[in-house]
Amino acid sequence: MRLTIAALMGALMLAACGGESAPNPYPQSAQERFSMSCPPESAVCTCTWDKITRTVTYDEYEAALARFRETGLMDPRITRARTQCLERHRE
């Protein structure tokens, strides 16, 4: 019994430590559109796409792109993902 409780507590602690979540499902066409302006050969672009798909759902991503086209303002979560990748993968 103690072992089970200890295992559950350990799993909860690991989850709370900020382990990355699984990517949200996106259609292949979304990644292809992204790759037109940010090539997958770039470590920054690969990192950015991965962070975006883990941070926002596809619907949120599409809404962010629509807002960007209308207002010129990008969703802060997407900007943060790009900035983190630029800092991590200086090209």
Residue-range domain boundaries for the chain: 23-88
Per residue in 40-75, pLDDT tens?
Answer: 999 999 999 999 999 999 999 999 999 999 999 999
What pLDDT does 21 receive?
83
Q: How far is CA 59 from CA 53, 83, 84, in A?
A: 11, 22, 22
Instruction: Work out the pLDDT band at 90, boundaries 50, 70, 90.
Output: confident
Cα 75 from Cα 61, distance rounded (Å): 9
